[in-house]
Structure 1
Amino acid sequence: MGLKRGALVLVAASAVLAGCAEAVDDSGTEAAPPRVVTDPGPFFGQCGSVTDEEVAEEFGMPPFTAVTRNSVGCEWEVAGVGGPSVTFSWYRGSPIGRERAGSEMIGRPASAIDVQGHPGFIASSGGILCELGVEFGGDFIHWSVMYADARPAADPCTVARNLAELSVSRAV
């Protein structure tokens, strides 16, 4: 009887301590949820495996004045920072929900979409900006198309969708 009672006390104490450890950190605020490790999604290649020429054709603007490539994405710009641009980003091990929530927080309500069997979201603003994210388990890709103050040469969401379709179809 003493052994059972001691085991129950240990189990109860462990549950209480575990619950407290997840709920509150040293500052008295809620602690971040534990990080979930997911299997990596497919490989997208540099710039989502989309060429500069394909981006230019979809975007329909004058030639790009700058193209930036780095380890997480690419940006094609017309007339420098703040001008018309297209951006591709690849997020590994990052939840797409945070990106979607950020879009909604700044006044761009997001709608659910499906790109070749993969869930995602699309959000736009005033016919001059559109962003689209596609989820792959714990990873996601993100295309953003912004015409800024320029007259849009195409619907930015159509451009983003077409570029996302290319990336998804070329993923390995």
Structure 2
Amino acid sequence: MGRKWGALVLVAVSAVLVGCANEGDDSSTVATAAPRQVTDPGPFFGLCGSVTDEEVAAAFGMPSFVDVTRNSVGCEWDVTGPGGPSVTFSWYRGSPIGRERAGSELIGRPATEIDVQGHPGFMASSEGILCELGVEFGGDFIHWSVMYANAQPTADPCTVARDLAELSVSRAV
């Protein structure tokens, strides 16, 4: 008996939702999302952009990392835990770089155009404490972010981000 009532409730809810969707709507057209643009995949970057923990530490110039997080889209190297000095690599497949750039600009970090080994991108920074850099590969892009947070910067964050991006691009297959 429980199945019958469950099915009856499902049918009733569906009818109400359909009725509400059409209420006050004289048009017979339905709004649809714009189709996704299909792009060729970019190169393969490997785990952490094919950059080792030692290379990140050398470029960043901070004490040893307390935590290194690796997942399917990138890596994060933290010195003192979340919110502290860190370096982050992300690899976005089939995602527009413009969205990342716009986000940076919306929070007050104007982006400038860059080129990394023939690939267009952007760089945005915040007063020598934070720098993010994105490099485009057709419909894909990689993103490096270097943040010294409250720590005294040991290197220019944009130089660090640029050096790491150069390594990743040179090792892409």
TM-score normalised by L of structure 1: 0.82
CA distance in 1, matches of 2:142, 2:165: 8
Aligned residue type for 2:70: R
Between Structure 1 and Structure 2, how many residues are aligned? 146
Task: State the match for 1:130 in structure 2.
Answer: 131
- Unmatched 5+ stretches in structure 1: 1-20, 26-30
CA distance in 1, matches of 2:33, 2:162: 33
Secondary structure of 1:104's match? Answer: helix
Give the alignment of 1:10-159 within 5 angstroms: 25=31, 32-159=33-160
Task: State the match for 2:10 in structure 1.
Answer: none
% same residue: 84
Please identify runs of 4+ aligned residues in structure 1 that moved more than 6 A. Answer: none
Instruction: Tell me the CA shift for residue 126 of structure 1.
Output: 1.1
Instruction: Tell me the CA shift for residue 169 of structure 1.
Output: 0.1
CA distance in 1, matches of 2:54, 2:128: 23
Instruction: Tell me the CA shift for residue 32 of structure 1.
Output: 4.3
CA distance in 2, matches of 1:98, 1:32: 17
CA distance in 1, matches of 2:45, 2:63: 27
Aligned residue type for 2:141: F
CA distance in 2, matches of 1:154, 1:32: 45
Instruction: Tell me the CA shift for residue 124 of structure 1.
Output: 0.1
CA distance in 2, matches of 1:127, 1:169: 26
- Unmatched 5+ stretches in structure 2: 1-28
Aligned residue type for 1:144: S
Aligned residue type for 2:121: G
Aligned residue type for 2:64: P
Q: CA RMSD in A?
A: 1.3
CA distance in 2, matches of 1:114, 1:162: 13
Secondary structure of 2:70's match? Answer: strand
CA distance in 2, matches of 1:119, 1:72: 21
The CA deviation string for residues 115-154 of structure 1, in whole angstroms up to 9 with x for no partner, is 0000000000011000000000000000000000000000
